[in-house]
Amino acid sequence: MRVLVVEDGLEYTKSFEQFIGAPFEFVRAGSGREALDALAAASFDLLFLDMRFDRATELLGDLDALIERHNGEPARARRFLEDNQGAYVLAAIRDAGHGQPALMSYDFDGEPRRFENLRARYGPLAYLTDTAGPQETRAALLALLSRPPT
Query: Which residues sit at the interface with another protein, rule CB under 8 A?
Result: 9, 11, 14-15, 18-19, 52, 61, 69-73, 76, 80, 84, 87-88, 91, 105, 107, 109-118, 121, 129-136
Q: Which residue, 42 or 68, is less far from another protein as judged by CB? A: 68
The type of residue at 60 is L
Q: From CA 106, how far away is CA 127, in angstroms rounded?
A: 6
CA–CA separation, 120 and 60 (whole Å): 21
Cα first-last separation, the chain: 20
Closer to another protein at the Cβ: 2 or 76? Answer: 76
Q: How far is CA 81 from CA 23, 78, 136, in A?
A: 34, 5, 28
Nearer Cβ to another protein (97/130): 130
